[in-house]
Each structure stands twice: as structure tokens, then as C-alpha cells.
Amino acid sequence: MPVELLGKSQQELREWMASLGEPAYRGAQVYHALYAERRFDFAAMTNLPAALHERLKRQAAITLPAVARKYQSADGAVRYLLPLGPQPAAAGGSEAPPTRRATVEAVFMPSEGRQTICISTQAGCAVDCKYCLTATLGLVRNLSAGEIVGQVLVALEDNRERLAPRTNVVLMGQGEPLLNYDATMAAVRILLDPNALALSPRHVTLSTSGIVPGIERLAKEKVRPKLAVSLNASNDSERDALMPINRKYPIAALLEACRRYPLRPWERLTFEYVLLGGVNDSADDARRVARLVGGLRAKVNLIPWNPGVPQSGMPYAPPTPAAIEEFRSILAEKQVPVFVRYSRGQDIFAACGQLAVIESGIETHA
């Protein structure tokens, strides 16, 4: 069985190469060719001798996620539907038993001077946020580090001709990254490594529903992305209803973890707040949010809810333009940095989980 190399760290590739009886530095050369030069064919790894090409062809594989469908938005965004194979084997183990088909999505969004790539860390999700279509899938399975980093590589390759100098990556697709911590962080280290994809930590953002132990663990990492927290409510009863995870990690505990989070000098936290018309978008909500986040070095992104799939059955409505503006101006008056973000690619169902739900044919709850 060939060994899958995508997702391996430099150290793992060095050790694997040494286990073949090759010099360990060959592992570092494969690492550079794979992630920095984005060469996925051993024959194209010109830094390796020809005899090693042949050996790698027999004994190793580089498997990028396959693109089952590609949707092009009028605004330039491209959405990829990526069916994944069986759960990759854990080191030394055999393949996990087959589960439901795992399909994830990645989105490429070009803009002036940069592209932003949104990737998934799990197929489906167990967190059950009530406004999110991915939640209707439940957790199908965790992604491996290779499957996570592979989404970025697929999006970069497919848009090779039009890449801008800067790449942003947001871990905001399907799944809760902090509930697939090890694979997510292995992928993030490859994204941020100057010898691999060499993205800046300022340009990689992990978004969490508020898994407090995960935030505490992330706080101790030497190499880490920026942190965004989905707040989405201004008090516990409202948040319990929208995000049941709040019963486990209520707002006070979440904000305490945020207060203790060691921000780098250039960094601030992001709080994401999906505005649901008539649910969490009142002026009182805005005043409470300002009080909650007021003492933190943080900004708030207001995201007007995108109904996405027609007849999704979700009991929510987009906020009115007046409610969005009132919410925004209350936060701004209280000196909280605030931005209104509209979802890109609405014509291609670019909100989290929408394509996978459509493709899986799952019934969404009414």
C-alpha cells in the first residue's frame, strides 16, 4: 500500500525517508517540492534524483481531493465540491470502517490584491448550530491534515493563472476546527511554515463556535492562526437556543477564555455575529454585545443571515437594512470596531454547508 505523503510534516517526511534507507534530507526536499513549489507528481520534483522518483512512484502517493463539481459565481467566487475517500488510516493502523459518504466544500474568493480560500475541517458537524445547514448532516467524519491542506492546494492550482500576491485562508467551512484539533493544527503548521505554503499568520483565521478547552489549547501554540469566535447572541438564553454548545461553554466562560488568550502585538480577536432578523438583531442585543466585548482587543463582524438554499426550511429571515445599520452604529458609538460582511457567492450557495446538503439530498428540518 503506497504511503500518503500529503499532510505530512517535514519531520515526518524526513523520518519516513530515513526508514526507506534514503538520506533524511530527501524528506525535506519532498516537503519543499510538495508544499512550496506545489508539485504533486514525483517526476516533476526536479530536486530529487531520477532513481528516487521511481521509488516514490512505487511506494508513495500524493492524493489531492478530487473535484466532483465546481460552481462559478457571478462575483468571481468558485466553490468546489470535494468528495473524500474512506477515513485515512491512523499511523500504524488500518482504514477506519466505512461511514457515510464524506463530502466537503472549499471556496476560492478573489478580490483586489488577494484571494481568500475558505476550507472545511470536518465533513458535517456535530455542534448543531440552529442557523447552519451543515448541522443537518451531523458529523460524518474528521478530515486528515492532508485533506485539510489539500483543499488549499486544489483551490490554488485551479486558479494558478489568476493568483494575486496574497493568500488568505479561513477555516470557516464545514466543521468545528477545534473538535478536530490535531489534524487542523498539523495542516495550519504547513500553511504557516515559511518552507511550505508560507502564509502569514495574519492571513489565516480559525473560526470556532466557542470550544473553550480548544481555545485554551490554541493559546499555548507557538505557531497559530488568528482566532475568530462565533458569538451570535447577546445573552445565554438566546445563545443556548441558537448554539446548544453554549450550555457546555456559556458566554462568561467563553469570554474569560478570550480575555486570557495571549494576543500578539498586531492581533485582535474577531467575534462573528450572524444577524437573524427579529431573533438577535435588536438594539438591546447590540448594547449587550458592546458590553460583552467592550473590554477586549477585538472587532465584531456582523453577517446578515444568508437564506441560501431556497426552501431550506430554516425558521429565520435576513435582518432588515435598518436593523443592520442600527446594530452597527450602536457598536461603533461604543467604540467597538465593527464591520458588516456579506457572504460572497450567494448565487452558488456559498454559505457554510449549503452545497453538501443539496448534494446529499438530505431533508432539512421544517
> Which range in 61-69, 82-90, 125-133, 156-164 contacts ligand SF4 by CB under 6 A?
125-133
Of 174, 184, 280, 306, the one binding ligand SF4 by CB under 6 A: 174
Q: Which of residues 78 and 135 has its CB atom nearest to ligand SF4 in the complex?
A: 135
> Which range in 61-69, 171-179, 188-196, 249-257 contacts ligand SF4 by CB under 6 A?
171-179
Q: Which of residues 27 and 175 has its CB atom nearest to ligand SF4 in the complex?
A: 175
Binders in 24-43 for ligand SF4, by CB under 6 A:
none
Position 178 contacts ligand SF4 (CB under 6 A): no
Position 146 contacts ligand SF4 (CB under 6 A): no
At residue 202, φ and ψ (nearest 5 deg) are -70, -15
CB 144 within 8 A of CB 121: no
At residue 300, φ and ψ (nearest 5 deg) are -120, 130
Q: Which of residues 29 and 142 has its CB atom nearest to ligand SF4 in the complex?
A: 142
Position 215 contacts ligand SF4 (CB under 6 A): no
> Which range in 3-11, 75-83, 129-137, 145-153 contacts ligand SF4 by CB under 6 A?
129-137
Position 132 contacts ligand SF4 (CB under 6 A): yes
Position 176 contacts ligand SF4 (CB under 6 A): yes
CA nearest neighbour of 256 among 280, 238, 229, 283:
229
Position 209 contacts ligand SF4 (CB under 6 A): yes
CB 106 within 8 A of CB 154: yes
Strand runs labelled E in the chain:
3-4, 60-61, 69-72, 78-83, 103-111, 114-118, 122-124, 139-142, 166-171, 204-208, 226-230, 269-275, 298-304, 338-340
Instruction: State the burial class of residue 156 (Cβ atoms within 10 Å of its Cβ: 0-12, 13-18, 19+).
Output: middle
Q: Which of residues 153 and 211 has its CB atom nearest to ligand SF4 in the complex?
A: 211
Position 352 contacts ligand SF4 (CB under 6 A): yes
CB half-sphere exposure, 148, CA atoms < 13 A: 32
Catalytic residue numbers, as ranges? 105, 352
Sign of CA dihedral 128, 142, 106, 359: negative
Check residue 134 and report its DSSP letter.
G
Using CB under 6 A as the criterion, which residues of the chain lie in contact with ligand SF4 when the complex forms? 125, 127-129, 132, 134-135, 174-176, 209, 352
